[in-house]
Structure 1
Amino acid sequence: MAMLDPEDRAASGRAAEAEAAARSPREPATLLEESWRDFVWAEVWTRPCLPMRPRLIVAMASAATCGLEESQIDDFVRGALVGGHLSLAELREAALHLAVYAGWGNGGRLDRAVTRVAGELDLPPAHVPPICPEPWDAQARNDGGHAAFAKVMTFAPGPPGSPYLQAINNFVFGEMWRRPGLDEASRRWITLVGVCESAAEIPIRSHIHAAMASGNCTGEQMLEFVVQYGTHAGWPKASRINAVVQEMIGKVAKGLPWNG
C-alpha cells in the first residue's frame, strides 16, 4: 500500500473546501481547524459513494441541528447554490422540511442561512408557492396524507387517533411531502438527519428502512450518510445509526419490514 503524503492530503482538503463552500479555502489556525482540512474536507468530502447534492443536503441539515456556526451553514448553502446543486427555491423547501423533522427553530437556522447567502450572491427571491393556496376538503386532505405516507414509508399508516398523528397525516404527509418543490430523495436525506438527531427508536428504524426500500438510496449510500452525519453529530451518535443501517440493509435485501 502506498504511503500518503501530508502535503497531498492538505492540498486535497483545500480543494474540497473550495468546491463545497464555493469560496477560497482558509488556512487553519488551530489543531481543530487543521482536522477539518485534513480529515473532514480531505477524506470525508472526497469519498465517491455519495454525490455532491445529497452530501451538501446532509451537511447543511446536520450543521443546522448539531450546533455548527452560522458561517459553516452558510458555506454549505453557498456551495449548493454556486455549484448548481440546489436552487434557491429548493433550499427554501429544504428549510421547511428540516423544520418538520428537527423543529422549527432548526429549520429557521437553515432558512436564515439561505436568506444571508441569497443576499450575498444578490439573487432575486425564489418563487415558492404557499403551503395550501386553495380551500381544501378535509377528507381529501386525509386521504392524500394516507397515500403519501404509504408511498414514503412503504407501509400503510394506522388511523390518526390523536392530535399528533392527525398533524402527521394532514400536514407532514398530506401537504409537505406532496409539495413538488423538492424531490423525494432530497427530502429523505433531510428527514434522516432529523430522525437521527431525535434518538427516537421507531422513527430511526422505520425511516432508514424506508429510504432504501423506496429506492431513494442504496445501502452503500446509506452507509456513506453515516460517515457524513458523524462528522457533525459525533461518532457515538453515528455508531448507533451505523448499527441500524447495517440491520436494515439486511432486512431490505430479504424483503422484510423494518419491524419484522
Structure 2
Amino acid sequence: MTLLSPADRIARGNAIAAEVTGVALPTPATPYEESWRDFIFAEVWSRPGLDRRARFLIAMAGAALANGSADHIDRYVRGALTSGELSLVELREAALHLAVYGGWTKGAELEAAVTRVAAALGLTAAECPPIQAGAWDPQVRSEEGAQEFINVMTFPGAPPASPYLEAIPNFVFGEMWCRPGLDQRARRWITLVGVCESGAEVPIKTHVHAAMASGNCQPDEMQEFVLQYGTQAGWPKASVVQGAVFEMTKKIAAGLPWNG
C-alpha cells in the first residue's frame, strides 16, 4: 500500500487555496487552521467529481446560511471573480436567489460580500435587468410561473391556496427562476443549499430528485454535493442530505417520482 505524503498534501492545499480564495493562505498555527489547508482545500476542493463553479456556489451559499464570518464569504467571492468562474452579474443574481431559499437577511450576507469584493477589485457595477421592467398581467405571470415550476421541479406545483402558495408561481418561478443572469444549473446548487439548511424533509427530497430528473445534476455530482455542503453545514446536517441523495438516486434509476 502506497503511503501518502504530508508534504504533497500541504503543497496541494496551499495551491488550491490560493486559486479558490484569490490570495495565498497564511501559514497555519493551529490544528483548525491546518484542517482548512489539509482537508478542505487539499482533499475536498481537489476532487474531480464536481466542477469548481459549482463548488463556489455551494461554498458561498453555505457560508452565508451557516452564519460564516464575512471574511470566509469574501474569500470565496474573490476567488470566484478572479478565477473567472463567476461574473459579477452572476453573483448579484446568486444573492437574490439565495434570499428566496435562505431568507432575505441571509441573502444580504452574500450581497454585502459581493459589494465589498467588487469595490476592492475596482470592478464596474454589474448591469442587472430590473425584476420587472414594465407592466404585467398577474394572471399571465402566475400561469407562466406554474409552467416554470414544472420545468424546474418536473412535477406540477400546489394550487395557490394561500398567500405563500401564491408567491411560489408569482415571484419565485414567475420572475426569479426566469431571470437571464444565472443559468438553471447554477441556480440549482444555491437552491439545494437553501433547502438542505432548512432540514425540511419534503423540500430536500423534491429538490434533490428534481436536480437529477431535470438533468441539471448527475447522481455522482450529488454525492460530491453532500461532501462540499458538509464542509459548510457540518456532518450532522450533511448526513440527512446523504440519506435523501441515496434514496432519490434509486428512484431516478427506477424511473420513479420523488414520492413514488
Decide: shared fold, TM above 0.5: yes
Partner of 1:209: 209
Q: Count how many residue pairs are aligned between Structure 1 and Structure 2.
A: 260
C-alpha deviations, 1:91-140, integer Å up to 9, x for none?
Answer: 00000000000000110000000000001100000100111111000111
In 1, distance between residues paired with 2:90 and 2:192? 17
| Cα deviations by residue, 1:137-191 (Å, 9 ceiling, x for unpaired) | 0111011110100000000123111100001110000100011110000000000
Structure 2 partner of 1:111: 111
Give SS of 2:227's match: helix
Aligned counterparts, 1:66-215, within 5 A:
66-215=66-215
1:1-27 CA-to-partner distances (Å, cap 9, x unmatched) read 310111111111101100111111211
Matched with 2:52 is 52
Unpaired runs of 5+ residues, structure 2, are none
Determine if the alignment matches structure 1 residue 27 to structure 2 residue 27.
yes
**Quick one: distance in 2 between partners of 1:218 and 1:69?**
31
Gaps in structure 1 of 5+ consecutive residues: none
Q: CA deviation at 1:76?
A: 0.6
Aligned mates of 2:54, 2:14 — CA distance in 1 = 21
Distance in 1 between residues matched to 2:159 and 2:62, nearest whole Å: 32
Structure 1 vs Structure 2: percent identity of aligned residues? 60
In the alignment, the residues of structure 2 paired with residue 117 and residue 27 of structure 1 have an alpha-carbon distance, to the nearest angstrom, of 23
Equivalent residue of 1:237, what SS? Answer: helix
Matched AA of 2:32 = L
* Superposed CA RMSD: 0.7
Q: Deviation digits for residues 202-234 of structure 1, max 9, x if unmatched?
A: 100000000000000100000000000001111
> Equivalent residues in 2 for 1:32-47 (5 A)?
32-47=32-47
Cα separation, 2, equivalents of 1:87 and 1:231: 24
| Structure 1 residue 258 corresponds to structure 2 residue 258 | yes
Tell me, yes or no, if structure 1 residue 61 matches structure 2 residue 61: yes
Tell me how far apart the structure 1 counterparts of residues 75 and 188 of structure 2 sit (CA, whole Å).
22
Using the TM superposition, give the Cα deviation of residue 67 of structure 1 relative to its aligned residue in structure 2, in angstroms: 1.9
Preserved CA contact (<8 Å) 2:158 2:165: no
